[in-house]
Structure 1
Amino acid sequence: MEVVLLRHGTTELNKARKIQGSRVDPSLSEDGRAYAEKAAKNFDASKFDAVYVSPLKRAQETARIFVGPDIPIKTDKRLEELDYGDWDGKSSQEFKKLYPDAFDHRGLLTDNMYKYNKNAETRKQFEERLADFFDELYKKNPDKKILVVCHGVVSRMIVAHYLTNGDISYFDQMENCGLAKLHISNDQTSLVFWNRVLA
């Protein structure tokens, strides 16, 4: 199965450097939508056999921009971003000052977050729901080409699930509207490319 992961376009929360998980549901910003439309001109959605999308608005809007009005999309709640609990929608810069060890050198949250953020979805729970989705997807579509429109940490975790035993620290955050491609089979899963941008 060939899977292309597409991270959603930019929102105002992205620009404000706020934590954006599954409890916040902003639309694309004006410039985020404009960039998605520009990138989508270099994207051929017709080659995919199916399109699956997170139910959150930023992913739904990005998907529709990239695939157009006529290609059907299937929504699956398991593709939602990590649930950051009480940290969702809050300033990552403020938390970085309070809990510097919860962030890595790139400014990405690490598992040290869980020392301070007690009601966030655990990495294990997060990986399990994504693995459940992709296992089911592979059983139904072993020889198909699938587009999955989702989120930054979702993309990192699903690649980590297959390649690094769920350790997302190996993968940087993709750009908004960045693409990754996986080839998934029973024998071997390989990462074809990561963070490809179209505009």
Structure 2
Amino acid sequence: MAYLYLVRHGETLLNADDRVNGGTVDSPLTAKGVASARALGELLGNVHFDRIISSPLPRALATTKLVVGADVPIITDRRLREMTLGDWDGLPVAMIANDAEFHHFNEHLDAFDPAPMHAEPIPELWQRGQAALRAAVAGVPDDGRVLVVAHAIILTLLARVLTGTTTIDASRVDGELANTSVTVLQTDQTEWTKLAWEVTPDRADQLSVDQLRLFN
């Protein structure tokens, strides 16, 4: 069974401005995002990772380097890039908040139609995301640990659905994984078990004894 540490990138300027931060746009990490990524690096400092994988988007790569160090080998996988939201990418959320498709996107993914805004279909996102995580743990030694740094939409979907927490349709109802949070799963590629959920450096003191072992 391999351990998979799923990290969402640090806060970006687009995040701070409450703009859509999809797969066709990028912006630098804020000072808060940088500080939080460094703090997460301290939390994960005692963990030996057999493999470190990042989305190729600059915000994810920058976060990865702040967490593990600039000189540590990092694998990039395009399948981990954020969902492409087409014409929505970069827009203020307030501009699309009353759009029926935005409601579907957040509350009822099965009803979401990506065509009007030229977004990526959810089945394609799901398939490439699953494939990326299965490849991430393939060939890793038993009890090996893999760090994956990516994005809110794709990681929230994968973590909630693979662990059976919810369906694809309802996977966004409870919101997205927080910036610079780590979610730990254990998997044999058939079963995916949630061990720690959305841990941020400022909440590490809330971990159970068993969860603390994941960070040593």
TM range (shorter): 0.7 to 0.9
**Does the CA contact (< 8 Å) of 2:36 and 2:201 recur in 1?**
no
Aligned to 2:158: 158
Aligned to 2:4: 3
Distance 1:193 1:82 in 2: 24
Q: How high is the sequence identity, in percent, across the aligned residues?
A: 26
Structure 1 vs Structure 2 CA RMSD: 2.3
Distance 2:60 2:46 in 1: 15
1:116/1:92 Cα in 2 relative to 1: closer, same or farther (>3 Å)? farther
Gaps of 5+ in 1: none
1:189/1:142 Cα in 2 relative to 1: closer, same or farther (>3 Å)? farther
Aligned to 1:84: 85
Distance 1:71 1:108 in 2: 36
Distance 1:8 1:127 in 2: 19
Q: Which stretches of structure 1, 4 residues or more, deviate above 6 A after TM superposition?
A: none
For residue 39 of structure 1, report the CA deviation from its aligned partner.
3.2
Aligned to 2:182: 179
Distance 2:87 2:101 in 1: 18
Distance 1:32 1:194 in 2: 19
Give the residue type in structure 2 aligned to 1:19: V
1:100/1:43 Cα in 2 relative to 1: closer, same or farther (>3 Å)? same
**Does the CA contact (< 8 Å) of 2:107 and 2:173 recur in 1?**
no
TM-score (norm 2): 0.81
Aligned to 1:125: 124
TM-score (norm 1): 0.87
Gaps of 5+ in 2: 203-216
1:58/1:186 Cα in 2 relative to 1: closer, same or farther (>3 Å)? closer
For residue 35 of structure 1, report the CA deviation from its aligned partner.
2.6
For residue 16 of structure 1, report the CA deviation from its aligned partner.
0.8
- 3-state SS in 1 of match to 2:198: strand
Moved more, 44-53 or 167-176: 167-176
Give the alignment of 1:22-171 within 5 angstroms: 22-44=23-45, 46-97=47-98, 99=99, 102-103=102-103, 108=106, 110-111=108-109, 112-114=111-113, 117-141=116-140, 143=142, 144-162=144-162, 163=164, 164-167=166-169, 168-169=171-172, 171=174
1:16-73 Cα distance to aligned partner (Å, 9 max, x none): 1111111002121223212322332222265111100000111000000000123211
**Does the CA contact (< 8 Å) of 1:102 and 1:110 recur in 2?**
no
Distance 2:189 2:14 in 1: 38
